[in-house]
Structure 1
Amino acid sequence: MGVLKLLKNKATKHTARLVMIMALLAIFSTVLMASYVYRVDIRSYFATAVKDFYFTSNLLTDQENIPTYQISHNWQSNNPATISFELRNYQDPLNASTCDIAYNVKTTPVGSATSGTIIAGGAEGNKKAINLNIPAPQTVAPVEVLVTATATAPYSKILRGKFIITPAISYQLAENADSPLATLEISLAQSTEPTREVTISWPQGAAPDMTNPLVMAAANGGTLDLTSGTLTTTLNTAAVYELIFFKDQAETEYTGVTVSGS
């Protein structure tokens, strides 16, 4: 009888342990399943939210190949150049963000910066016009600027674009020592404006070629002043012009010719 009682007690304890283990396994399985379902729900939520998030531009891109744009500006005006583009909260009229988008925009190596928010909604989405100022360089030369627009909330996305700002008017007087002639070359960059008014000034010691079309046009327009050494004429953009000066002294280097425009 003592042996049977001992076996019965052991069986009871074994059954209790088994029941406890099964209960713990059931609880653990329930926790794992709940955690999995929670993760799936969270992932599904973020996937849906990101899918409905659009941060785009008419000029900037999130692609690896950064687009490059060339614009011209008259640095001689002492005014900064302006880079203009749009930031949008839509991909197309049927796909627009359903949340406000906070953003910031910067330029490197020079230029202004800005920040703001694109409000959600709009019949076909909303957009913000961005205008960035680029200061004039120390010397008149092309300026290359990288523009970076970053969406900071609720999600992060980066758009970039490269802008090369070329001088609207550039000129060069060729070396002319030991030559009776000094040759001036004037280049006008491509522009949305078909023509540009240009003023050429020169110091004493040389005279312009009076048969040159630039000089003849200024003479006919009454804007040629040989006494003060200036002429003003209208030139086509996206073009190169040449003007020869006859020097008083062939052996010296003639300098001091300037070209400015409006």
Structure 2
Amino acid sequence: MNRTPAHKRPSIHTHVARRRVPAAAVLAVAVVLALAGFAAARYVMQQQQDGLATATDFYFTSDYLKESGENATYYIDPSTDDFTVELRNFADDLRTTSGGISYSVNATNASVASGSGMLKGTERSTAKVTVTPSSGVQEFTVTATSTSPYAQELTATFILAKGNHYTVEDASGNTAAVLTMTCADSGGPITLDLPSEVIPDATDGRVRSENTFTADGPGVYSLVLLKTNASLNLTDSGEFANKITVGTSPAT
């Protein structure tokens, strides 16, 4: 009896096994692409962060001059023939511009000496610009502009008048006195002319070299004055612009 050969039944596992290889490959490719995409995104983000850090590494500041929106105004002693404005390439002890800054300075109702120059980069750098008010004026304006690598304008108005007030509380026998300064203007550096036996408290961060106190803005400030001679009496009061001269009173 002849039998017709039975057709071999296809295995249900044959196509599954055939499908497993491309599925695994697709999965592997997907993983590689995902990792590549993550790496690329991280690279782009890093580049953006690096670019932002480079763009903001720029500090053009001054002891008097501020950005125009701050409307900086200062009193200057009327008897002063000229004074200096300091330009800086740093914001504080930790933030310094890495590259050089080219600048120019001009004034209205005043003249400036060395009105242009360069602040060196990579380290703290300053430039002092001498300003001479024009004869007969009571108010003048000074403007400094950085020309490279970025353009920024700093400005301030100066009034030839004594509009601030100070008092010194002391008594003979005290080893220290207290100087209180009331600033009606934008603050700025205040020169302290003190007797040789008196020094400002060096631990006060607002005290700079050459007996200069820096006020951050309008307001009331106190400073301890240390006396090496306790018999001195520094009690005093008066008006000032940007300099305070503290004398001595007879011991009582």
TM tier relative to shorter chain: 0.3 to 0.5
Q: TM-score, normalised by structure 2?
A: 0.43
Q: In proportion to residue count, which structure has more helix?
A: 1
Give the number of the structure whose alpha-carbon radius of gyration is greater: 1
TM-score (norm. length: structure 1):
0.42
